[in-house]
Structure 1
Amino acid sequence: MRARPPDVPRSGGILRQPTSVWATAFAAVVAFMGIGLVDPILPAIAEHLRATPSQVSLLFTSYFLITAVAMLVTGWVSSRIGGRRTLLVGLALVVVFAALSGTSGTVGQLIGFRAGWGLGNALFVATALAVIVGAASGGAESAIILYEAALGLGISMGPLVGALLGDMNWRYPFFGTAVLMAVGFLLIATLLRPTPRPATPTGLTAPLRALRHGGLATTAFTALFYNYAFFTVLAFTPFVLRMDAHGIGLVFFGWGVLVALSSVFAAPVLQRRLGTVQVMHLSLALLILFQLGLAVLGHTGTIVCTILCGIPIGMNNTAFTEAAMEVSDHPRPVASAGYNFVRWLGGAPAPYLASRLAETFDPSAPYYAGALCCAAATLTLLARRHHLKPLNRVDTDHTFQDTPLPARP
């Protein structure tokens, strides 16, 4: 298990970061905006392109599936051309395919362009985490919290931007994302210095071989089940809300704000008090509760439970990401690639299967399936808890470093 360097300063605070870190974080915000951007306009896309909800859900499935598979090559690419160039390639691909998505004439074209978008997003997201961890002050913990804050902010802003632009035309959110990502490209090109390449390039199979580690495999496959529930809420709920773009955007903005706040503030505090694995258990239990609420409550209850789902999702995002980075001795880019490959595979089928379950049975069925997946994640943690013992050291480090030193006599 990777030990925390003893000389890493923590007194500087999470907000005191180099300009290059903030540039990367801004681009990460925009990248994560792309996940929830289409939420408010899903009904409009279905109407204008004459597609069913299950067909429209493939916008998420193609995006997540390509993102998952592309995670396996991110380390191979970045170890050969460097982290900065990998970020720029990923951003350039997102700019191109986001703009092309706005020109789509059929749902098939839009699905294909979203797949290309997913490729660029994978190159950027996996590398951005490693770059932020390497460049941020305050150690890995502060960097991961900053990364998760960018994730939460991006996910919260995505639906709001999608609603504001989508209210004028469903194509505008895609063009808007392309413009913002172009800004991120320019910021990283000018503010981020070239990152050093590792002495030994990463092999294509390195992420898969890293998953042989019991702790990393346990974290990844638990996240697979959890992500199914996560993306069921994100991709299917807009059809259940039966609201206009502004209404859907505001609901998911509230959801995203809670994702950001719980990932940055609640998760670190609870990790220090309870431990990382216990935070995972608590978050999964809350997500089961809210998913059952989505299944059985009326319209107002659906809105409330959707927003409240942001709390366990934010806490889990931080806990799982830190666990994946710290539970093994594999290089962080390799561990991140292996973990994210499995994690995104869990999210890929969720949007389509949720829509199909609703069409075959009723709108509550997808949430029951999501609750069952969270229960499977909990059982995985319990059955393989001995593989996560290295995280006890990380939790001990958190406790010691947050305990004031005794005053000198």
Structure 2
Amino acid sequence: MSGGASSGVWRQPAQVWAVAFASVVAFMGIGLVDPILPAIAESLQASAVQTELLFTSYLLVTGLAMLITSWVSSRIGAKRTLLIGLALIVVFALLSATAGSVDAIIGFRAGWGLGNALFISTALATIVGAASGGSSAAIVLYEAALGLGIAIGPLLGGLLGELSWRGPFFGVVALMAIAFVAVLVLLRGPSEPRQPVSLAAPFRALRQPALAVLAITALFYNIGFFVLLAFSPFPLGFGAMGIGLTFFGWGLGLAITSVWVAPWMMRRMRRTTVILIVLPLLAVDLLAAALFSSDPAGLVTCIVVGGLLLGVMNTVLTESVMEATDLPRSVASSAYSAVRFLGGAAAPPIAAALWHAFDARVPYVFAAASVLIAAATILIGRRALARVDEREADQADEAVSVLVGDAA
């Protein structure tokens, strides 16, 4: 393997690693509260639906704020946008840790979501723009950060949650402060020329058929994703550490398949074909979760298998969005992410309400139906995704070769 190729994934500029580390911590925030949901419900005398709103307020504000992040970053630059996002996460995580009611935490998680939106959409564009080895290598690195963060979040939440439900929030404060310093010191500036973006740009972007199809797909796919993540702690019936270990396995599987399996599949088949294979398998897994909802061992198995499938989907969808249009990466990322996070925001309280109205099986059936709608969206809109399929995954092939070579 040539020296140039071997620098494609892991040998990156310091600024890329700074943003990647901060991304790990930011994505930890998604699964961090998972192990402490039952503890928060018990300590603050909240219902399951109220507790699930910790996800909803976070994801709803994240999604809506995504619509303005490209406008903000195009005017103040990537570095300032990232730093503002990280600072907001530190402030609102600290406020969550000191809150005295579930309603207060719901509100503070909304502020956390604003910081998350400013950071996440800008981080992807920054890594793709600054990383060596091409856009596919950068996306592999970004998805690795996502998977690692989602894996560590529940584990940290479980470890600190055994001490107190406030512990995980304090943990995020400390880690995000470190990430803030890393970005401040190591990120030298925006990786792409600053070109002011209109506030209407993400809305216009969603009028492009390819991006619209992918965004609608992601909306329904994310319902399945967040039912599995946010609802499962309740039927599992474990303590904070048990939930944390379960979702550490889930996140680890997600990280492994996003980095290794997804690029391997894209070398051998079209992106839309990969999606149309994985989404029905995910629906089957969710239906299995419904059958095993009262069997902790079976449900844990379904959760971990779900993580393996979700990792493939995350990488393939992200690459597809980056290749679907000629739009600036920040605009495409903002528009797509805004829609997909809205699906994630709706899922947790709906799942909890279905649980109380029926039983623990129904939320998973609802999630499986949503995932099948996502698959049908790709099938119906496949012609609009011709550009996504026309570009063979040559870069992904190179990225995986580099990854395997560097890891050896």
Q: TM-score, normalised by structure 2?
A: 0.95
Q: Following TM superposition, by how much is the alpha carbon of 1:198 offset from its aligned partner in structure 2, in angstroms?
A: 4.2
Mapping of 1:5-404 within 5 angstroms?
Answer: 10-195=5-190, 198=193, 200-297=195-292, 298-395=295-392, 397-398=394-395
Consecutive unaligned residues of structure 1, counting only runs of 5 or more, are 1-8, 405-409
Task: Supply the distance in 1 between the matched residues of 2:234 and 2:253 (Cα, whole angstroms).
Answer: 21
Task: Supply the distance in 2 between the matched residues of 1:55 and 1:302 (Cα, whole angstroms).
Answer: 23
Q: Following TM superposition, by how much is the alpha carbon of 1:397 offset from its aligned partner in structure 2, in angstroms?
A: 3.6
Q: Secondary structure of 2:275's match?
A: helix
Do the aligned partners of residues 317 and 330 (structure 1) sit closer, same or farther apart at CA in structure 2, a change above 3 Å counting? Answer: same
Q: Following TM superposition, by how much is the alpha carbon of 1:13 offset from its aligned partner in structure 2, in angstroms?
A: 2.9
Task: Supply the distance in 2 between the matched residues of 1:205 and 1:198 (Cα, whole angstroms).
Answer: 20
Consecutive unaligned residues of structure 2, counting only runs of 5 or more, are 402-408
Aligned partners of 1:229 and 1:373 also within 8 Å: yes
Q: Following TM superposition, by how much is the alpha carbon of 1:230 offset from its aligned partner in structure 2, in angstroms?
A: 0.1
Identity, % of aligned positions: 54
Superposed CA RMSD in Å reads 1.5
Q: Which moved more, 1:11-20 or 1:331-340?
A: 11-20
- Structure 1 ranges of 4+ moved more than 6 A: none
Q: Which moved more, 1:198-207 or 1:214-223?
A: 198-207
Q: Secondary structure of 2:46's match?
A: coil
Task: Supply the distance in 2 between the matched residues of 1:402 and 1:94 (Cα, whole angstroms).
Answer: 32
Residue-by-residue CA offset, 1:197-217 (whole Å, 9 max, x unaligned): 745300111011011111111
Q: Which amino acid aligns with 2:324?
A: V
Q: Secondary structure of 1:56's match?
A: helix
Task: Supply the distance in 1 between the matched residues of 2:380 and 2:9 (Cα, whole angstroms).
Answer: 35
Determine which structure has the larger helix proportion and give its number: 2
Q: Following TM superposition, by how much is the alpha carbon of 1:194 offset from its aligned partner in structure 2, in angstroms?
A: 1.5
Aligned partners of 2:136 and 2:396 also within 8 Å: no
Task: Supply the distance in 1 between the matched residues of 2:125 and 2:400 (Cα, whole angstroms).
Answer: 28
Q: TM-score, normalised by structure 1?
A: 0.94
Task: Supply the distance in 1 between the matched residues of 2:17 and 2:218 (Cα, whole angstroms).
Answer: 27
Q: Following TM superposition, by how much is the alpha carbon of 1:113 offset from its aligned partner in structure 2, in angstroms?
A: 0.3
Residue-by-residue CA offset, 1:113-135 (whole Å, 9 max, x unaligned): 00000000000000000000011
Q: Secondary structure of 1:212's match?
A: coil
Do the aligned partners of residues 112 and 283 (structure 1) sit closer, same or farther apart at CA in structure 2, a change above 3 Å counting? Answer: same
